[in-house]
Structure 1
């Protein structure tokens, strides 16, 4: 019989602390996260094959990549709240089932229009699936186990974020059954079906303890505001940065301000807003969200220019480029796996996070120096050291940051909080892509043919890496706003206070 969690403490007898089945549920959740992260990056490396296979224009190619990101970003907050209201397990299963179906439609797409529509559907389903992952973890595992769990989550996030290009290169180059690029989508089918079956059996259902209704007005305002901001950023370069795009970005600010005012009104009226604004009264959450946006911006800049630098600037094959990134992948996964379990308890979460930011910046500076020194003659082995430093730094940031942001969040708002975390992550990535149009494409003559443009691509890469280092400096400073050590608050109320009768915890010195 399925158990259902609605309170801040798990029911005795079926407690997650004694139920070993929760680890199978965790494996399903982490697999779903990995599948989403891989799918967000796996497409880029197969773009030339897609263009040849279905005759996609440059505009269609932009939408194949941007359609997923836009649908994902604008739906995340709503997806998180739907889990709070209708059940996190139910919405997760709906999301992973829809994601699997959309992957099948992408894999059998006969023309660019069908592929773009399927990618938008895929992003929408990911917006239902992904917020439930952190929510279910938050309500399934007790506070003393979450450090280990978030360490595992961080390792999977790091591995998924950087292994997409390598997996895409392998699947495209192998040309399985003569399907060329299509296996990059079809590979999701067995994974998704397995996750659907095991998730239905092993994940425990949970909802917010109060009966909530979906805030449709908030959905409309939030979606409009995010689209007005993200669409011009995502498509600006292709459209030569039209004036209307800048007008839309500026207008998104008052639109989002209206959204905030409406959410406050909604909270007073019936207590069921789309976004629980009281979350921002929790210091760890508010500061962590700011760090998340800035950090994701650096990733948005780096991953795109890194791929273009290797494949076009240096003329490497997709497989060569993918294999070059292995040191980054290994270092990121290893650092993420030990950061929460070993380093954070000993040195404090803020110190570990800042160490990660510094290590990332040092690796980027070393990479920049090598790119300038060796030019187009640089070899993969010469990139290994800076990539190890950058991967290790990224791993030290990923897992502790997630734990820090969610540490003070009441369980009844776990869905809304995880939706906001993922939304700000996508927002930061979109901002990074927008900055890339200026710091990378704007730093070279795009009319040059790729073969003649190697040195120009190297110069543009160096310029972009300089911006990565600058933003990482800002990330380091923002981290001073985070508490020195994570404090789990299982007894927090919706406004960030403690329930009457909750056992007080001593304040950490200097926190």
Structure 2
């Protein structure tokens, strides 16, 4: 399934992804910055779990959405892909904005936006409205998620930081798998006749509670030397992703119309322009959206060599298996979700053990 390409951002939302953003690269906590309390840590981890769970929670609900909204295969793929493309395009920009305007402030804005867009998804009267709301939800997730690891880096030190990062890894790991289990449960229970809409509406009270907690417990922090927003790089990256992913996701179902081929023809030019703009920005002393020099670091190259194939495969697997279990094996939503419970447990345990194993045995663990 070509949809797996668009799901790369979420699979890469496990610990490796946010650390590539400038906001997460703070080497130490400023002496005057307030510490993150245990309740504050719980709050930011809850904020991190919301967008990660929501990427996958919708998968089990897709057959029900199709039946209710007469969406069709292409539209169902857009429900998933729209979220992923918006998230991927704006993730680094969200980190930059947190550096500039304050991470707590952006965290609160992101939570509010995520709750409102979740409400819009849950109330969507038709498939196109749902796709538009999912795109907006992905943008809100990109605003929210980078602030979590950046706040942990800025407001913790020593063993507390190591423990917080380990818990972040566990949250990221289990969220990616538990989303489909939770989605199956919500669709099966059919709260107040809400059906598939519950997988989105459940976010609203959780986001509201997290917002109230964050306003009281999460300290403000920002970069002492924030980088400027790379507007040209962001626009070109968005263009490259859209011209590649939109025709690959919708072209086959639409019969490969002329627009799909035109967009694919634009893609290599947009990608080349993005690379050229980023190289020029770095040569002139500015901070590009994706600094090309990062790819000269051996650990970055080896990490991407493993992370990209994993992200492609994991995203595609989670999408396909959710549909196959229900449409092919005729499982109910709850049975389809529960069948992934062993994966959820193993993912959670490995995520918690990973940092400790790496500290003891080094990169051989990876």
1:168 matched residue in structure 2? 183
Q: Residue by residue, what CA displacement relative to the aligned partner does 1:116-138 show, whole Å, maximum 9, x if unpaired?
A: 22111111111111222222223
In 2 relative to 1, CA 7–70 (structure 1 residues): closer, same or farther, beyond 3 Å? closer
Structure 1 CA distance, aligned partners of 2:68 and 2:32? 56
Q: Is the 8 A contact 1:70 1:231 kept in 2?
A: no
Quick one: which of 125, 134, 139 aligns to 1:119?
A: 134
In 2 relative to 1, CA 207–282 (structure 1 residues): closer, same or farther, beyond 3 Å? farther
Quick one: which of 312, 327, 334 aligns to 1:312?
A: 327
1:344 aligns with 2:363: no
Structure 2 CA distance, aligned partners of 1:245 and 1:148? 47
The answer for unaligned runs of 5 or more in structure 1 is: 354-511
Quick one: which of 108, 112, 115 aligns to 2:123?
A: 108
Structure 1 position 98, deviation (Å): 0.3
1:85 aligns with 2:104: no
Q: Secondary structure at the match of 1:210?
A: coil
The answer for unaligned runs of 5 or more in structure 2 is: 1-23
Quick one: which of 20, 30, 40 aligns to 1:11?
A: 30
2:4 matched residue in structure 1? none
Quick one: which of 76, 82, 87 aligns to 1:72?
A: 87
- RMSD of the TM alignment (CA)? 2.6
1:445 matched residue in structure 2? none
1:29 aligns with 2:25: no
In 2 relative to 1, CA 56–250 (structure 1 residues): closer, same or farther, beyond 3 Å? closer
1:233 aligns with 2:233: no
In 2 relative to 1, CA 226–292 (structure 1 residues): closer, same or farther, beyond 3 Å? same
Quick one: which of 186, 202, 205 aligns to 1:190?
A: 205
Q: Looking at both structures, which has the greater relative contact order when contacts are Cα pairs under 8 Å and sequence separation is at least 6?
A: 2
Q: Secondary structure at the match of 1:316?
A: coil
- Aligned pairs for 1:248-287 within 5 A: 248-249=263-264, 251-269=266-284, 271-287=286-302
2:309 matched residue in structure 1? 294
TM-score using structure 2 length? 0.84
In 2 relative to 1, CA 13–152 (structure 1 residues): closer, same or farther, beyond 3 Å? same
- Aligned pairs for 1:54-453 within 5 A: 54-142=69-157, 144-241=159-256, 245=260, 248-249=263-264, 251-269=266-284, 271-341=286-356, 343-348=357-362, 350-353=363-366
| Count of aligned pairs between the two proteins | 343
In 2 relative to 1, CA 280–85 (structure 1 residues): closer, same or farther, beyond 3 Å? farther
Q: Is the 8 A contact 2:96 2:228 kept in 1?
A: no
Q: Secondary structure at the match of 2:330?
A: coil
Q: Residue by residue, what CA displacement relative to the aligned partner does 1:410-442 show, whole Å, maximum 9, x if unpaired?
A: xxxxxxxxxxxxxxxxxxxxxxxxxxxxxxxxx
